Structure 1
Amino acid sequence: MSPDRGDLLLDEFGRYQRDYELHATQDVSTATDLAHEIVATGGQVALMVADSALRDAAEREVDPLAAFQSWRQVVPTSKRLVVAHWDRFLSDADALRHGLAKGKFDAYLLMPRGVRDEEFHTAVTELLSDWGSTVGGPVVETVRIVTPEADGLTLQIRDFLDRMGMPNRTYAPDTELGREIAERAADEGVEGFPLVDSPYRGVMAPQTVREVAAAIYGRPEEVDIDSVRDLCIVGAGPAGLAAAVYGASEGLSTVVVEAEAIGGQAGTSSMIRNYLGFPRGISGMRLAQRARNQAIRFGTRFFTGWEVTSISPGDDGEPHVVHTDGGDIRARAVVISTGVAYRRLRVDGIEAMTGRGVYYGSAMTAAREMEGYDVVVVGGGNSAGQAAIHLARFAKSVTIMVRRKSLEETMSRYLIGEIEFNPRIVVAPCCEIADGGGAGRLEWLDVRDTTTGEITRRNAEGLFLLLGAEPKCEWLPDVIAKDERGFVLTGRDVPKDRWGGGLPPEALETTVPGIYAVGDIRGGSMKRVAAASGEGASVVPLVHAYLARSDA
């Protein structure tokens, strides 16, 4: 939308003509009417582009931020881009900067000034790619799921595939493609639902997400048992992925074992805006997949969907043995980067609705199914804020509930600013969930005021619980020291009576030489993606030094 340069922009966006319909308008009211028309006829708007100099039908100047605010009510799922001609780019930047910080639009770019402006189009394709992965749905399907109902297992499988960046679609058994897959399954003796059809194993009827992951990515028992790897990394969140990239790139034979999807909790984030080097933000899934591909390029081997059950520390120079449900991996050094899990609410009525309107974590897949619903997000951290902003693209309303009086103590300021701006999101302080229920799926919640104890009932078709961190370290042997909350202790945080030879372990080393802990699982760590990545990179020189001493 541009009053004077619509033809220029339409020509510049011509390269997208094959896959998208392009519309050019000269004033705000015409653009608004067009958006209403597209939505009314069942269409979607992927990207709205506005000149920094806008006018209405009466040729009066219009603030682009006000225009995007009105368009957001019509198409809340679209990406939003402001472009400025070179003679206004700097002067308009100051007025628009606060809107960009609050998420009122997604990018501010200089209007192309010539052919092959790939910097401009890199930003455009990133925006379109993010829209396609979170809103538009897959065009090419890698995996097809057939099921008569979207039960909890189906949702878990879809969420796993989405987090792994694998395009998928779900079909009912009475559709043409659903019948074809079901018939093929019957011919192969496969019974039950959901059916998962992939190019990796054909049709299967998994009972767990782990079976799907193993079919696609393999089992740890495929590792040559007679070989010993230099480094085994347990957990593929940001810390584990960074350790894999730096370890493999510096010549260490590296294996990564991940119980769920690559990326850990960070992989569920719809948009991380404060990660260094990504000015337009990046989804957790894309960040994780880029890191995974980078690690693979250097030779890292990944095993996804297999939980590590225990570690047997090596004695007298023997390798450590990492035990999984699918086999053992022997490694000279081990890095524990399993992260943390969201704490369970432990309210019977809520637990009974898990997968049927109640979800732990941001549940990217379920977000698309919240259209027109009233949704509640419980949690005050960055993950909760990111989830609320993403859900607001689909849901009728989003309420963030926290026990504290505000979000200020626990959430980054940039997210608070976005939340304050978004009219679909409200914050309910001093609240906690007392109960919930419904006929078949979540319909209502009982909410307790933590200051008065009063309980009120409200409608809610979606509940997303992001309740803080709980370490999952039961599988670690007692010889590895942990704090009173169960987080792994490293370096000088280890009690002096557990030091070896009167000296503390290395900075990220546990009480077992050659076994390290990085990221959220480590006691005293900062719960941020960048901090976890930094620890993952920092542990590799320590591993090298340990291996050098072992070889001496």
Structure 2
Amino acid sequence: MLYPVTNPAIVLVSPDHVEFLADEFGRYSRDYDLHGATTFEDGARLVKRLDAVGDPIALMVVDSALRETTPIQTFGKWRQLVPTAKRVVVAHWDRFLADAPSLRAGLATGKYDAYLLMPRGVRDEEFHTAITELLSDWGSTVAEPEVETVRLVSPSGVPLTLAIRDFLDRMGMPHRTYDPATEVGREIVARYDGEASYPLVDSPYRELHAPSSVREVAAAVYGRPDDIDVDTVVDLCVVGAGPAGLAAAVYGSSEGLDTVVVEAEAVGGQAGTSSMIRNYLGFPRGISGMRLALRARNQALRFGTRFFTGWEVTSVDACAHGDHHVVRTDGGEIHARSVVVATGVRYRKLGIDRVEAMVGQGVFYGSAMSAARELEGQHVVVVGGGNSAGQAALHLARFARSVTILIRREALEETMSSYLVKEIDWNPRVSVRTGSEICDGGGEGRLGWLDIRHRTSGEVDRVEVGGLFLLLGAEPHCEWLPAGVTRDERGFVLTGRDVPTTEWVDGLPPANLATTVPGLFAVGDIRAGSMKRVAAASGEGASVVPLVHAWLAG
């Protein structure tokens, strides 16, 4: 369903080439309003005017040859007004190499999103690929969707509604939520057979219904494992669709293995919640975890992989004949000659009862990107010192008034990638509070305050907050695995030479990514000793496929 809205703006600022840029950006004029300026002052007035009347700014494009100030200083001032806009520096081909050294540091610290050479001719698709990627990211994280695949009807503050929205965001599925009192909300409620309970979900995949869980929505969209013919034994069942599981699916199905993937939540795992991954090979402008996951899923689908989303695996057992595994879920069984476990890890719980009681009511485990847009003008706390926490904080800073990263350690550098630390240092909306922890929290029906204790002095400060995002580190999720799978003292799965020598067979360890149960492999964060990085998990997912082939060959 289409809804007309004010077109977002693209602002072009160049002392000598604004008409040239306007002509190049003409291909976007149907969907965006183009605005040009030749000086910093005119550009500033333009940005302030658009902001004052509420016109969204999707993209700011600034010439590297600004005379009054530098592009980085320009973006620093304008970012306070429009933190959600994407920022690009363009250079004429006469200046591109000369200006690059002074601008490169700003790109590395996230002061702008891309440094591009102005097009040198018609149909410069390399230039426009960069522009459309940035506009696509802005559209998926900032703009309200104009095409709705799924419509939700719910009052505000319903935790299940937010969980479903987060799932739909992670699956890249456009959606919108309507209050029951709105015109659209009343029309959908009127069509519901029975007394409405919220949320109501209206989609092309199933008749209007009131789900009791996110899995119910996922099953309606992607099917149940019991859709598989019970007489079929597949070559490979991958449990978990994070980066490791997706890589195993792509390489397994592309090399001829009959491959099935079962995922309990949304494709992408924890990585799928990352608003922007900037250090993944081959994506110089970064890529959101959702887009990376969906591209990998589509790639696996192309080779014939079957996906079943929304069902948690409850056990893996040997079949009656002992020649394959039976992967059991609440929605059916999958029989597979080999199984790759790629279920990743879960965030640890905070363990404070009053805070836990407000999960979904201002308290979130993970980045919960769908909640970010609703925190405009509020203060937000992110707990955690890993890359996921840094990415979440930078994304939330595009909407919230201020963001505090809370860590127990004395410095972010101990656990977070350098590029994220630099971006956080530069971002004026993000601060870091070290050596501290949450000791209490509360509010009237929704989180409104937190008590934060300094671990050395014991002093406690009460701060008003609109949201708390908990990314507290990793706990393995493998209680469902057979008892014969050896694990370390923290519960992570041991593979290869990490398996104790007492469990080697004929004096030989299992294969590198093989567990102590024949035909069962483990990759990614669930495996003891893994690096806990997206690229490393993807590498393990690809590396396990030759081992699976060797196992299947006997």
TM-score above 0.5, yes or no: yes
1:13 to 25, 30, 33: 25
Deviation, 1:139, is 1.1
SS of corresponding position for 2:521: strand
Distance in 2 between residues matched to 1:357 and 1:76, nearest whole Å? 22
Could you say which residue in structure 2 is the equivalent of 1:202?
207
Alignment of 1:137-536 (within 5 A): 137-186=144-193, 189=194, 191-314=196-319, 318-536=323-541
Distance in 1 between residues matched to 2:406 and 2:144, nearest whole Å? 29
Could you say which residue in structure 1 is the equivalent of 2:111?
104
Could you say which residue in structure 1 is the equivalent of 2:6?
none
SS of corresponding position for 1:485: coil
Distance in 2 between residues matched to 1:89 and 1:148, nearest whole Å? 52
Distance in 1 between residues matched to 2:490 and 2:100, nearest whole Å? 47
2:40 to 28, 41, 44: 28
Distance in 1 between residues matched to 2:191 and 2:164, nearest whole Å? 20
Identity across aligned pairs (percent)?
70
Could you say which residue in structure 2 is the equivalent of 1:46?
58
Deviation, 1:223, is 0.6
Does the Cα contact within 8 Å between 1:196 and 1:203 map onto a contact in 2?
A: yes
How many aligned residue pairs are there?
Answer: 542
Distance in 2 between residues matched to 1:452 and 1:229, nearest whole Å? 59
SS of corresponding position for 1:24: strand
Could you say which residue in structure 2 is the equivalent of 1:58?
none
SS of corresponding position for 2:142: helix
Q: CA RMSD in A?
A: 0.9
Distance in 1 between residues matched to 2:432 and 2:477, nearest whole Å? 30
Could you say which residue in structure 1 is the equivalent of 2:95?
88
- Deviating more after overlay: 499-508 vs 415-424: 499-508
Distance in 2 between residues matched to 1:428 and 1:191, nearest whole Å? 45
Amino acid paired to 2:51:
V
1:87-126 per-residue CA deviation (whole Å, 9 max, x = no partner) reads: 0000100000000000000000000111000000000000
Distance in 2 between residues matched to 1:174 and 1:377, nearest whole Å? 33
Consecutive unaligned residues of structure 1, counting only runs of 5 or more, are 56-60
- Deviating more after overlay: 99-108 vs 456-465: 456-465
Distance in 1 between residues matched to 2:542 and 2:338, nearest whole Å? 15
Amino acid paired to 1:28:
F
1:479-534 per-residue CA deviation (whole Å, 9 max, x = no partner) reads: 01111100001001111111222211000000011100000000000000000000
Deviation, 1:137, is 2.1
SS of corresponding position for 2:57: coil
SS of corresponding position for 1:386: helix
Deviation, 1:180, is 1.5
Distance in 2 between residues matched to 1:336 and 1:190, nearest whole Å? 42
Deviation, 1:193, is 1.1
Could you say which residue in structure 1 is the equivalent of 2:7?
none
Distance in 2 between residues matched to 1:170 and 1:42, nearest whole Å? 21
- Deviating more after overlay: 35-44 vs 310-319: 310-319
TM-score, scaled relative to structure 2: 0.97
Distance in 1 between residues matched to 2:383 and 2:430, nearest whole Å? 13
1:38-89 per-residue CA deviation (whole Å, 9 max, x = no partner) reads: 111121100000000113xxxxx31110000001011000000000000000
Cα pair distance change 1:171/1:142, threshold 3 Å: same
Distance in 2 between residues matched to 1:475 and 1:518, nearest whole Å? 16
SS of corresponding position for 1:457: strand
SS of corresponding position for 2:315: strand
Alignment of 1:113-152 (within 5 A): 113-152=120-159
Distance in 1 between residues matched to 2:206 and 2:368, nearest whole Å? 26
Consecutive unaligned residues of structure 2, counting only runs of 5 or more, are 1-12
SS of corresponding position for 2:416: coil
Distance in 2 between residues matched to 1:406 and 1:315, nearest whole Å? 54
Amino acid paired to 2:100:
A
Distance in 1 between residues matched to 2:171 and 2:219, nearest whole Å? 13
Does the Cα contact within 8 Å between 1:190 and 1:205 map onto a contact in 2?
A: no
Alignment of 1:37 onto 2:44: no
Does the Cα contact within 8 Å between 1:432 and 1:447 map onto a contact in 2?
A: yes
Does the Cα contact within 8 Å between 1:401 and 1:428 map onto a contact in 2?
A: yes
TM-score, scaled relative to structure 1: 0.97
Does the Cα contact within 8 Å between 1:321 and 1:330 map onto a contact in 2?
A: yes
SS of corresponding position for 1:160: helix
1:372-406 per-residue CA deviation (whole Å, 9 max, x = no partner) reads: 00000000000000000000000000000100001
SS of corresponding position for 1:505: coil
Distance in 1 between residues matched to 2:441 and 2:507, nearest whole Å? 54
Amino acid paired to 1:153:
L
Does the Cα contact within 8 Å between 1:190 and 1:204 map onto a contact in 2?
A: no
Deviation, 1:191, is 3.5
1:350-390 per-residue CA deviation (whole Å, 9 max, x = no partner) reads: 10111111100011101111100000000000000000000
SS of corresponding position for 1:372: coil
Distance in 2 between residues matched to 1:190 and 1:506, nearest whole Å? 57
